[in-house]
């Protein structure tokens, strides 16, 4: 990797950390509500895994249909959370989804059946 590409990658990592810190500091309630939907669905349905959670978030971020009925169900739950947070801008909502999606990628390979992210965040959700 060239020096330029390494520098660009470092800058992107710094920007990602800044987004995560800023969102966690200013909009902890939005992050918590997003994660609560995912964790409660996983507690209720054994087939909810990290990949389904990530797919649901990606469908909202890209405004594309969910890849399957499980992801669609999760996306619907997240849309309900969005309606509860009318006071936040669309940019804040999208940033919050990006932060949670990044957390899923950091805690999981998103292989079918993997629940590393869900197990991690479950520790913080009553």
Residue 25 pLDDT: 87
pLDDT score recorded for residue 14: 52
Task: Give pLDDT, residue 5.
Answer: 43
> How many structural domains compose the chain?
1
Query: Measured between alpha carbons, how far is 104 from 41 in angstroms, rounded to an integer?
Result: 15
pLDDT of residue 19: 74
pLDDT for position 7: 46
pLDDT, tens digit (0-9, with 9 covering 90-100), for 99-111: 999 999 999 999 9
Instruction: Give pLDDT, residue 8.
Output: 43
Spatial distance between the Cα atoms of 71 and 81, rounded to a whole number of angstroms: 15
Rounded to an integer, what distance in angstroms lies between the CA atom of residue 53 and that of residue 41? Answer: 10
- pTM of the predicted structure, to 2 decimals: 0.85
Q: What is the 3-state secondary structure (H, E, C) of the chain?
A: CCHHHHHHHHHHHHHHHHHHHHHHHHCHHHHHHHHHHHHHHHHHCCCCCHHHHHHHHHHHHHCCCCCCHHHHHHHHHHHHHHHHCCCCCHHHHHHHHHHHHHHHHHHCCCCCCCCHHHHHHHCCCC
The boundaries of the domain holding residue 64 are: 3-122
Identify the pLDDT of residue 1: 55
pLDDT computed for residue 3 by the predictor? 59
Q: What residue ranges of the chain have pLDDT lower than 50?
A: 5, 7-9, 11-12
């Amino acid at each position: 990797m060239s020096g330029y590409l390494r520098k660009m990658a470092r800058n992107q990592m710094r920007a990602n950390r800044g987004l995560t810190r800023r969102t966690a500091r200013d909009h902890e309630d939005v992050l918590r509500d997003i994660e609560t939907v995912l964790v409660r669905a996983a507690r209720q349905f054994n087939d909810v895994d990290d990949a389904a959670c990530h797919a649901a978030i990606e469908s909202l971020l890209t405004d594309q249909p969910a890849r399957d009925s499980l992801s669609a169900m999760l996306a619907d739950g997240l849309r309900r959370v969005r309606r509860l947070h009318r006071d936040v801008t669309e940019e804040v909502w999208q940033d919050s989804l990006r932060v949670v999606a990044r957390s899923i990628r950091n805690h999981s390979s998103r292989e079918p059946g993997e629940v590393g992210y869900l197990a991690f965040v479950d520790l913080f959700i009553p």
